[in-house]
Amino acid sequence: MENLGLLLIFWYGVLHAFGPDHLSAIADFSIGKNKKKTMLITVLFAIGHGLTLFIFAKILETYSISESILGYGDTISSAVILSMGFYLLFMVFADRIQLKKHIHNGQEHIHIWFGKEHSHNNNDTASAFTVGALMGIGGVRGMLVTLGMIEGQSVDLIMVLVFALGVMVIFVGFGTVILYINKNLLNSKQNLKRVFAAAGMISVVVGSNMLLG
């Protein structure tokens, strides 16, 4: 029964990752990034997501929390996606997404950044972990249903790792799609604005539907 239970949790992680809110978040953070940073973002998002679910599942093992309170988790996830969408649209229309090409070792490199000046930092990777953790609150109810299929078992770290692995499989696969877009479409300022505007609009639509649903 233990192996079957872990398989169910892994499969739930796979299905959970296909949610439009998760894919929108990954796209928002990964567009314009290099291969290494895109993969790091997807992994950190999945870890943050799994960690939050683990913490809340442990809390709910001890304390009884009403369904209405758990519903606020969905509201938080929706607000996060909606905010990210509006932020990207603002950056596009305020012309704060920059693109610069240069030749290095005989190969053309493209640098994309937000703001007026180019700077290197790890804010986007840290933010991906934080957003993944926040959005994990919205997945608590679904994970509890899955855990309820494994009667009598306490939530442990192995369960969370298996869930996070299922999420990572989809996120990394989706990350390769974003890498293709980064490599083949983000080669001009016009295309850059179109892609980010599309990502922003999709996030606004997804977040709005989640709030109204």
Write out the H or E segment, with its range, that includes residue 80: helix 67-93
Interior CA angle at 85 toward 212 and 183, to 5°?
135
Domain total in the chain: 1
Domain span at 98: 2-212
Instruction: Kindly report the backbone phi and psi dihedral angles of residue 102, in degrees, each rounded to the nearest multiple of 5, phi listed first.
Output: -155, 160
- DSSP for 9-54? HHHHHHHHHTSHHHHHHHHHHHTT--HHHHHHHHHHHHHHHHHHHH
Span 44-82, pLDDT tens digits: 888 888 788 777 777 766 766 666 666 676 777 788 889
Give the model confidence (pLDDT) of 140-187 as tens digits: 666 555 555 444 556 667 777 787 788 888 888 888 888 888 778 777
pLDDT at position 102 over 70: no
